[in-house]
Every structure is written in structure tokens, then in C-alpha cells.
């Protein structure tokens, strides 16, 4: 609402029902082809958007390109988290010399190597990690379930190429300062006239940012 008021934009507000997550859970599983509760808000959001527009814009890729997640500041801790998760399952990624997935699974999955530096971490998440194998897949499936096309301008070739030239200390501050992830991107946003309460606010997980109580209650109950 604040962004819309600042730039005099048309804004559509919709308050979801108390049991909306529970009621849309079968649709979420069917269209997503898995159960990822962090995107529970996708279904009501995309369903409402499809009634107004046929194409939407999404900010996915900004965090991976510009170091937007707090975990990037504590890579050693992140390595331990990933390694502990892998230790809990029987996983094995075999090296492939040919085939469709050669580009991303031809190397062994070794967290202490994949996340050794910020650059390696961002490269891994863009090429082999959550963005390509997880986030983009879910957005595409859940939006197309309602006949809505969602595009990702941050991942366009021109922006991707330009972002590669940004020094890493312009992406993430070496000090733990609130709101200092995505430093260059935040600086660019400040030039637009957006209030600091938007450009300088800390990173919030998507589910908790949109529907904190519903999301929390759902997790606790199930």
C-alpha cells in the first residue's frame, strides 16, 4: 500500500480467509507436484491476479544475484546446515558426462566447496541450487494453474550480465547491518523516491511477510 500510494498506482487488496491455506492445500500439491508450505500464498495470490491481468512480474532472482539472504553472511553455518541435512538422507549424485542435466549435476555435491565463498555460493544457487531447481519451477506451475504468465525481469540477460560486474562488497556488507543485504540494489531503489521504510527494511521470508499468523498457525497445527 505504501509503494502504491507513493507512486499513485492502482492497488488491489485482498484479505484471505482464515482457513484459506487448509482449503487450498490439495490444489497446492496437485499443481506444484510436491508439498512446499513456504509457497502456500501462491495459490490465492495468483488466482486473484489472474482475474485482473494475464501477465505478472516477479522479483525472483534478486536475492541470488545481489546476495539478499542473511545466510550469505554466515557461510560456515550454512555449510553445516546443508551437510547435516544431507547426512539425514541417502543421497548420491552420480557424475554424468552427457545428457540433459550435465551442466549442473556433473560435479559432486560438497557443501564446504560449493559454499566456500560468496561468489561460489551465488553461482551454485543460480546454476544448481534453489533458484533453477526450486523457485522458478514452483512459480511457473502455480501461476499457469490459473492461466497467468509470470515473468522474472531480474533474470533477464541484460540485468544478469550487468549484475556480474558488481563487486561483492557492493552486494553484501562485511558488517552485520540491518538492511544491508543487496547493497547496490537498495542504493538503486533509493533513487526512485521510495521511502526508507521500504528500501532499508530487513529481509523477510515471503510466507511470513505476507501472512505471518496464518502461516505460523498452519505450520504449528500440521
Higher pLDDT, 117 or 101: 117
Q: Supply φ then ψ for residue 175, to 5 degrees.
A: -100, 150
SS3 content of the chain, % helix, strand, coil (to 5): 55, 5, 40
What's the pTM value of the predicted model, to 2 decimals? Answer: 0.79
DSSP code of residue 37: G
Share of residues in the chain with pLDDT > 70 (%): 87
Residues 90 and 84 sit within 8 Å (Cβ to Cβ)? no
**Among the ranges given (15-19, 61-65, 192-196), the one the predictor scored with the smallest mean pLDDT:** 15-19
C-alpha cell belonging to residue 140: 511457473
pLDDT mean across residues, the chain: 84
**Among the ranges given (102-106, 171-175, 212-216), the one the predictor scored with the smallest mean pLDDT:** 102-106
Report the distance separating Cα 98 and Cα 36, nearest Å: 31
Residues 142 and 46 sit within 8 Å (Cβ to Cβ)? yes
Q: What tens digit of pLDDT does each residue of 50-61 get? A: 999 999 999 888
pLDDT for position 132? 74
Higher pLDDT, 94 or 82: 82
Which element (helix H / strand E) includes 48? helix 42-49
Report the distance separating Cα 202 and Cα 186, nearest Å: 11
Cell 504449528 appears where? 220
Amino acid at each position: 500500500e505504501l509503494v502504491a500510494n507513493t507512486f499513485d498506482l492502482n492497488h488491489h487488496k485482498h484479505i484471505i480467509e482464515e482457513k484459506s491455506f487448509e482449503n487450498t492445500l490439495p490444489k497446492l500439491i496437485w499443481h506444484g507436484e510436491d508439498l512446499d508450505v513456504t509457497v502456500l500464498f501462491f495459490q490465492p495470490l495468483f488466482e486473484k491476479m489472474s482475474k485482473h491481468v494475464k501477465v505478472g512480474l516477479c522479483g525472483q532472482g534478486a536475492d541470488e544475484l545481489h546476495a539478499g539472504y542473511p545466510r550469505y553472511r554466515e557461510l560456515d553455518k550454512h555449510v553445516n546446515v546443508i551437510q547435516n541435512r544431507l547426512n539425514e538422507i541417502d543421497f548420491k549424485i552420480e557424475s554424468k558426462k552427457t545428457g540433459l542435466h550435465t551442466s549442473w549435476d556433473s560435479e559432486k555435491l560438497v557443501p564446504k566447496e560449493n559454499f566456500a565463498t560468496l561468489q561460489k555460493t551465488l553461482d551454485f544457487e543460480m546454476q544448481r541450487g534453489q533458484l533453477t531447481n526450486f523457485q522458478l519451477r514452483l512459480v511457473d506451475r502455480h501461476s499457469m494453474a490459473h492461466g497467468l504468465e509470470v515473468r522474472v525481469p531480474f533474470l533477464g540477460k541484460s540485468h544478469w550480465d550487468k549484475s556480474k560486474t558488481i563487486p561483492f562488497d557492493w552486494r553484501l556488507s562485511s558488517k552485520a547491518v540491518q538492511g544491508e543485504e543487496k547493497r547496490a540494489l537498495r542504493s538503486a531503489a533509493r533513487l526512485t523516491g521510495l521511502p526508507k521504510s521500504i528500501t532499508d527494511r530487513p529481509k523477510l521470508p515471503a510466507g511470513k511477510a505476507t501472512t505471518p499468523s496464518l502461516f505460523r498457525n498452519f505450520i504449528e497445527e500440521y
